[in-house]
Amino acid sequence: MKTKPNTYNPFPGVTDVVPVWVNSGICYSRAVYNDEAAARAVGEAVRASGATANGGFMDGMPLGTVHPAQYKGEQCWEVTY
């Protein structure tokens, strides 16, 4: 199955950078950026909002963490939100 590039920016007021990949889950979501500054700005905005995971073993855990990640062989940064 072919996938098309992501065009959705879940944080338009925080950054103009569109994440290369977005995963929307039941308890929390993840966005992967190829721009570290954009990922850190989004992470800070999410932490400032006080968002937490909803359900599952991470219920109540604060979101907005930024982790190094690989996407299609490239160094990227993953943000939980």
pTM of the model: 0.87
> Distance (Å, rounded) from C-alpha 64 to C-alpha 11?
12
> Distance (Å, rounded) from C-alpha 60 to C-alpha 74?
31
Q: How confident is the model over 30-74, as pLDDT tens digits?
A: 999 999 999 999 999 999 999 999 988 889 999 999 999 999 999
Structural domain spans, the chain? 21-80
